[in-house]
Homo-oligomer: A and B are copies of this chain.
Amino acid sequence: MGLPKNITDRPILGVIQNKSLREHVLEMLRNAIVNGEMKPGQNLVEADLAAQLGVSRAPLREAINILNAEGLLETVPYHGTTVTKLARKDIEDLYSIRSLMEGFAVQRLIALGQAEAVAERLRNICADMMRAADEGNLREVNLIDRHFHDTLVASSQNELLVMLWGTVSLRVRQVMSLRNEKKGNLHEIARNHLAIVEAIAAADTDRSVRLVHHHIGSTGDLIAEGWEKDSDDSPNTGPLPSTADF
């Protein structure tokens, strides 16, 4: 990772992406949702949206159906499609599952004898994260954080887990974008990750899993605390506990 210092690192001509309209629309909608540009509860009118995107309703509907299956949208027949609401309970559920999955991934990767190799890759990611933290670049730290956890899950070499993680990961991104960003201590975040990496490097399954559970669990609690309790879709706007965020 990290930004290439040299422009020649990149190919001259970008890859021409011949993706179908459905893929384009899917990506756009997904991004809009997980980036919080489309707010939970918001209604989608197919014709309007199709016109706005400059496509017909067919590929749009196909994209909507996929997002439905992923749980980011909810369609009630003949009535309409809305962005799925996020209640506090959903956050808690989400972070339990996330914790479960990442804990499992760590356990698997160690069992597979990949501890040292994976730790090496994660160390590099942490270094990138440290650099981004030095620059106070929250956005970049976020991105690298995602990369870290994606790498962790992928290292389990369990395809099904990776697939399910895709869904969970999107939800996490949505939650993170929805709550008011409080940058906390970026360096502390990086340190937290490094602790996990070292436990993995030591091939200490119990400690690794415990650290992962603790890391994710406390984050989830923190975010859930800042969420409107009674349900609905948005975090309250009051002061958030200011500490490491993810």
Contact present for A93 and B158 (CB under 8 Å): yes
Within 8 A of B (CB), among A57-72: 58, 61-62, 65-66, 68-71
The answer, among B18, B65, B71, for a CB contact under 8 Å with A66, is B65
Say what secondary structure dominates the interface of chain A: helix
Least Cβ distance of A209 to chain B in Å? 12
**Residue A38 at the chain B interface, CB threshold 8 Å:** no
By a CB distance below 8 angstroms, the chain B residues around A160 are: 71, 90, 93-94, 97, 168, 171
Instruction: Point out the residue from B68, B70, B164 that lies within 8 Å of A97, measured CB to CB.
Output: B164
Q: Does A232 contact B (CB under 8 A)?
A: no
Copies per complex?
2
Task: Select A65's contact among B18, B62, B71, B97, beta carbons within 8 Å.
Answer: B62
Task: Please measure, in the bound complex, the distance between the C-alpha atom of A163 and the C-alpha atom of B97, giving whole angstroms.
Answer: 11
Contact of A70 among B18, B69, B93, B158 (CB under 8 A): B69
* B158, A97: Cβ atoms closer than 8 Å: yes
Known: A62-B62, A66-B65, A77-B20. A164 touches B161 (CB 8 A): no
Apart from the given pairs A62-B65, A100-B101, 7 other A-B contacts in the complex at a CB distance below 8 Å: A20-B77, A62-B62, A71-B160, A89-B159, A93-B158, A97-B164, A164-B164
Q: List 20 A-B contacts (CB under 8 A).
A: A58-B58, A61-B62, A62-B65, A65-B65, A65-B69, A66-B66, A66-B68, A69-B70, A89-B159, A93-B158, A93-B161, A96-B108, A96-B158, A97-B164, A100-B101, A100-B104, A160-B168, A160-B171, A164-B167, A164-B168
